[in-house]
Amino acid sequence: MKKIALEEHFFTRSHLEYLRSHKGYPRLETVKGPDGRALEQLQLMPGSIQVMPQALLERLQDLGAGRLAAMDRGGIELQLLSLAGPGVEEFEVGDGTALARTINDELALAMRAHPDRFMGLATLAYADPKRAADELERCVRELGFKGGKLNSHLAGEYLDHPKYRCLFEAAQSLGVPLMLHPKDPPPAVLTALCDYPGLTQAAWGFAFDAGTHALRLIASGLFDDFPRLKILLGHLGEGLPFWMARIDNHFWRAPGARIRKKIADYVRANFIVTTSGMFGDAQLKCTREILGADHVFFAVDYPYESIEDAVRFIEAAPLSDEDREKICRGNAQRLLALPHRAAVQQEAV
């Protein structure tokens, strides 16, 4: 079965060079590993480190033969590409804005080289929200991108702040989704986790961050202002489908709730979720039953996750043929407005 994967990541040389030269957080530095050999690691913020093996860095930078071969082995006809974290929004504003444009232009070259295999989400330096909104428009209108990526909070400030409204307004006006990708939680929360480093990132901290961020956006009234806005959440919705009934049961008991609908109504109307890095039958069943198959999209989280594991999971998952086709491909064709003829051509490959 052919598949379209919606949460797949890359690095560019310009991004890596900046990270290696940056003196503050985040930065990429070389240290001596346990075996005495040099290795690179991301210093994301105080208390948060991510080791970056050379093989991973090479896969992130590969927007050619190696990546395409891995996709072919898994029956993935197309990847929606977004810059791996840390994002440019964390750099000095002028540097981040300039680097975002460079990265987007570099991704556009890869998309032109492989137009049937790669599509892109814009890298956005949203420390300057207005210029980020302008860059999103440039990428969509001039480069053919399919949306943008937001790497969650900015130094602990979440994007429900009114100054970011222009960015969401631009996405709705352009008719494209924004991916809300997690990062380490803000320092106050990270402190509660960093005694046990395995909890700070993908195991727990990421879901806490992105799930909390999504709820803040809903509770702020963002989707009352922009009812056609679509937000893409990875990892089967960062826990929100499982918690929706309890959230709705208690949210309205608190004073000051000012949104027009139930939390669950906004999740179903304004969010779509991917299978990235969540390859469990029970979790997929829960998400599909609560949100419906039309809201669930296939993704891998490549190269941080294995294409083989993701494909094995989705092809064996207890789904009807109709739902499996929607999740693997049909929903993405609709979201990305892909012409039917492109899918037919890929089937013939």
- Greatest alpha-carbon span in the chain: 58
* Cα-Cα-Cα-Cα dihedral sign, residues 152, 158, 160, 162: negative
Query: Distance between terminal CA atoms of the chain?
Result: 12
DSSP string, 226-283: -TT--EEE-GGGTTHHHHHHHHHHHHTTSTT---SS-HHHHHHHHEEEE-TT---HHH
CB under 8 Å to 303, separation ≥6 — which residues? 9, 56, 59, 60
Cis upstream peptide for 53 (omega within 30°): no
- For residues 235, 304, 62, 67, the Cα torsion angle rounded to the nearest 10 degrees is -70
CB 278 within 8 A of CB 240: no
- Among the options 128, 160, 301, 323, which is catalytic? 301
Active-site residue, 301 included: yes
Give the span between the Cα atoms of 167 and 131, in whole angstroms: 9
Name the 3-class secondary structure at 191. Answer: helix
Give the span between the Cα atoms of 69 and 98, in whole angstroms: 32
Q: Mind telling me the catalytic residues?
A: 301
